Structure 1
Amino acid sequence: MREISLLSIIGIVSFCISLLLAFFLLSVKSKNKISNKLFAAFLILSAIDLSGWFQYLYLPGLSNLGMLKSLFSFFQMPVLYFYVLSVCYSDFKLKPKHLLHTIPFFIANILLIPRFYAVNQELKIKLWEDYNSIWELIYVHISIELQFIIYIILIFILLNRYKKIYQQNFSDTGSKAFDWLFQFTLVSAIIHSVVIVKNFLKYIDNRENTFESVQLLVSILGLIVICWYVLKALKYPQLFNAVDSKTALVSSSKNIFKNENNKEIERLTSYMKTEKPYLNPSLSIRNLAEELKMNSRDVSVLINQNLNQHFFDFVNEYRIKEAMEILKNPSKSKHTVLEILYEVGFNSKSSFNTAFKKHTGKTPTEFRKST
């Protein structure tokens, strides 16, 4: 009976958890169906990749199936990129053009046909023993690492654009979707940096112990991250508030208001003061535009270009003024800060404290004491 190493045990546990979470995402009822399916696909691809740590238990020796399985790594980053797109943009759909992202996988397989897929076991072993000088294998490794770097950069660019659009259209400063995706991408980048070091050591360092130690570190980090995925999925089953991909950033468009600016601004500010729509914690620019019987795009341009504010800053300014009045009111001295923040439209203490200090230079408690 083969001895099972610690690396294999960690690999098996990570493999099982990844598949269980993938099946959970595929079976759970949610409005984020395409996002769940794409993240499930990413987890399944990750599980296939993780199975390499215990491949000797079910697929001994070198085989065409084993090589094909390892090349499935080419699908991980495109699927992750599509997942981020689907979370950020409510109108995202998979299209035939997205199949172009599979080209590197097919190129790698075609290159390996002559000297790996089409030869016998003996020649496969000979090729593998000299892997650090075989250009096909070097190409595969470099391509996978370059692909990772390119997609990580694309994801960060996408998240930056999403955050700007979100700030221009929602009054809530915190997007759980952005926080989750940013953390997820950052953690992935850090862990894969260790993987790159590990793979680099395989080519330049003949000391097997060094490579195995780094491999074990990667496996432990991988298991921790997978457990983190599970906790996130259980704690926030409905994470996301997506925007429309067709929504352009206001700064990139022309100002559609001219002489009527002052009238529109007066109308907007008057409505904010009298009707107090900012007390709604989930107020969006679309909601406000509907109440004003205006186009949401026009309201966005008015706030961003003419008042030189993001939508959430504009709304929070009114919320803070409302909170200041409550804090100064002796009859409401028994109101706690938590009660006040919910009363004026905030939904978290951290965002309230940040906004309050930004507008007044003091914390709510300090402001109350000073008055």
Structure 2
Amino acid sequence: MNDLITFLIYSGVTLTVLLILLLFNNRKQFSITVLIGILLSLLLLFLTYGASYLENTIVSFLIVPLGSVAPYALGPLLFNYVKSVYNQKVTLKELVQNLVPFFISLLLFSIPQYFTQAFSNNTLHNNLHLVSFIIPFIGFGYFIYYVIRSTKLLKRYRISLKEQYSYLKNIDLKWFSIWVYGCVTFVIIDVISGGILFIFPSLKFVLALNLIYLTALIWYMGYYGLQQTPIFLFQENIAVEATTSEKTIQEKVTPKIEDTSDLKDKLEALFQTSQLYQQQNLSLREVAELLNITDKKLSTYINTHLNLSFYEYVNSYRIKHFKKSIRNGAAKELTLLALAFDAGFNSKATFNRVFKKQEGSTPLQFKKEVEKGLMSSNESI
């Protein structure tokens, strides 16, 4: 058992360093830089748990003071990662400002520990040793605070996505939400294992749960983070400014009545003749350029006058196209999924969810109803 956990520790560290190096070679985007910071923070936590299990004095001396304050960095990094993916204006200065609590804890706790650990009988060292049990709990609380902020921010961005894109696959950071819930679970596991170790200090094998789970979190984050690309959202500034001057902004972006009198006809004609909805990655900006208007104006028109998001508007055409294909008998030669992709959907789950919401039945049920109706009409003839 000990050999297995030791192997897990060394392989986990090696693979995490490899992930960081891969990201470092591809750090053109600021979000990648933030992701490297996240993985470094997770690596510090991993080494801290590993050192506690192996009882390695040298590693403990070097890592534990940093690992104890790593949650103070991890929380703000997660928050800024979400921002940097959707808003390319996030700067290093802004990130550093959010990391001030981490630098303070580093200055007041971690650095002094390096000078006092060598003197085990030193009163200051003993006091710091006691504080070291408190620091992680405060840090994890601070981390949870930023997890909540990150979740709320991501929710707001997802609303903006539906205003500007006709698809959500690979751009809604669903994987990040799953990872965040995984982090909360890790905190719970850590509290439980910490309680067990406090009562039964000899049961150090429970740290293996932390190590295994933390390894999974690191690789999940690294795998999806490598594939994630920045997403343009023009409404970010509007969303921020709306808290201070909502009325002024509404006046700026809301089209005048005379400007939108024929926009509905032009928009419908564009979709019906060009069948733009069949483009799986269609965006609001592309449609706005074809109509020779601003994306903000088009978004406001669809929201205000049609009471729909751009995502809902485009998918309504896709559903109509799919239903027409079924009625024309296309399902005899192609699968339902193939017909959905032909209509413009790029995800089976999204197609089923949108169809169910709009029609109140599943695509398969609709197909059977159409076939049943055709059979009935043939029999009557």
TM-score (norm 2): 0.81
- Deviation, 1:173, is 3.7
Superposed CA deviations along residues 260-291 of structure 1, whole A, max 9, x for unmatched, are: 34432233223322332212111111011111
**CA 1:351–1:88 in 2, change beyond 3 Å: closer, same or farther?**
same
Partners of 1:113 and 1:36 lie apart in 2 by 27
Contact 2:113–2:128 (CA<8 Å) still a contact in 1?
no
Deviates most, 324-333 or 351-360? 324-333
Q: Which residue is 2:35 aligned to?
A: 39
- Deviation, 1:156, is 0.4
Counting only pairs closer than 5 Å after superposition, residues 91-102 of structure 1 correspond to structure 2 as 91-102=88-99
Paired residue type of 2:166: S
Deviates most, 320-329 or 96-105? 96-105
**CA 1:13–1:218 in 2, change beyond 3 Å: closer, same or farther?**
same
Partners of 1:118 and 1:352 lie apart in 2 by 60
Counting only pairs closer than 5 Å after superposition, residues 200-211 of structure 1 correspond to structure 2 as 205-209=198-202
Paired residue type of 1:166: L
Paired residue type of 2:156: R
Are positions 1:15 and 2:5 aligned together?
Answer: no
Q: 2:78 aligns with which of 77, 80, 83?
A: 80
- Deviation, 1:57, is 6.8
Paired residue type of 1:157: K
2:236 is paired with a residue of what secondary structure? coil
Partners of 1:114 and 1:86 lie apart in 2 by 30
Partners of 1:70 and 1:139 lie apart in 2 by 9
**CA 1:273–1:116 in 2, change beyond 3 Å: closer, same or farther?**
closer
1:92 is paired with a residue of what secondary structure? coil
Contact 1:15–1:47 (CA<8 Å) still a contact in 2?
yes
Partners of 1:33 and 1:106 lie apart in 2 by 24
Deviates most, 212-221 or 287-296? 212-221
**CA 1:45–1:268 in 2, change beyond 3 Å: closer, same or farther?**
same
Are positions 1:151 and 2:146 aligned together?
Answer: yes
Q: Which residue is 1:295 aligned to?
A: 294
Q: Which residue is 1:237 aligned to?
A: 227
Are positions 1:48 and 2:38 aligned together?
Answer: no
Superposed CA deviations along residues 11-35 of structure 1, whole A, max 9, x for unmatched, are: 222211111111112224x8x6322
- Deviation, 1:245, is 6.5
Partners of 2:367 and 2:292 lie apart in 1 by 38
Superposed CA deviations along residues 234-283 of structure 1, whole A, max 9, x for unmatched, are: xx735553434634359965262453344322332233223322121111
**CA 1:46–1:200 in 2, change beyond 3 Å: closer, same or farther?**
same
Are positions 1:180 and 2:179 aligned together?
Answer: no
Are positions 1:104 and 2:101 aligned together?
Answer: yes
Contact 2:277–2:318 (CA<8 Å) still a contact in 1?
yes
Contact 1:11–1:53 (CA<8 Å) still a contact in 2?
no
Superposed CA deviations along residues 180-231 of structure 1, whole A, max 9, x for unmatched, are: 21112121121122223444566xx432146x35422211211233343455
How many residues in Structure 1 have an aligned counterpart in Structure 2? Answer: 359
Partners of 1:196 and 1:370 lie apart in 2 by 54
Partners of 2:316 and 2:156 lie apart in 1 by 24
Partners of 1:51 and 1:162 lie apart in 2 by 34
Partners of 2:230 and 2:60 lie apart in 1 by 43
Counting only pairs closer than 5 Å after superposition, residues 161-180 of structure 1 correspond to structure 2 as 161-180=156-175
TM-score (norm 1): 0.83
Partners of 2:70 and 2:110 lie apart in 1 by 16
Partners of 1:96 and 1:291 lie apart in 2 by 38
Paired residue type of 2:148: I
Q: Which residue is 2:378 aligned to?
A: none
Instruction: Give the root-mean-square deviation of aligned CA atoms.
Output: 3.3
Contact 1:87–1:177 (CA<8 Å) still a contact in 2?
no
Partners of 1:269 and 1:366 lie apart in 2 by 29
- Deviation, 1:114, is 10
2:99 is paired with a residue of what secondary structure? helix
Q: Which residue is 1:284 aligned to?
A: 283
2:45 is paired with a residue of what secondary structure? helix
| % identical equivalent positions | 22
Deviates most, 79-88 or 279-288? 79-88
Partners of 2:222 and 2:97 lie apart in 1 by 31
**CA 1:195–1:124 in 2, change beyond 3 Å: closer, same or farther?**
farther
Gaps of 5+ in 2: 371-381
Q: 1:246 aligns with which of 223, 236, 253?
A: 236
2:166 is paired with a residue of what secondary structure? coil
**CA 1:196–1:239 in 2, change beyond 3 Å: closer, same or farther?**
farther
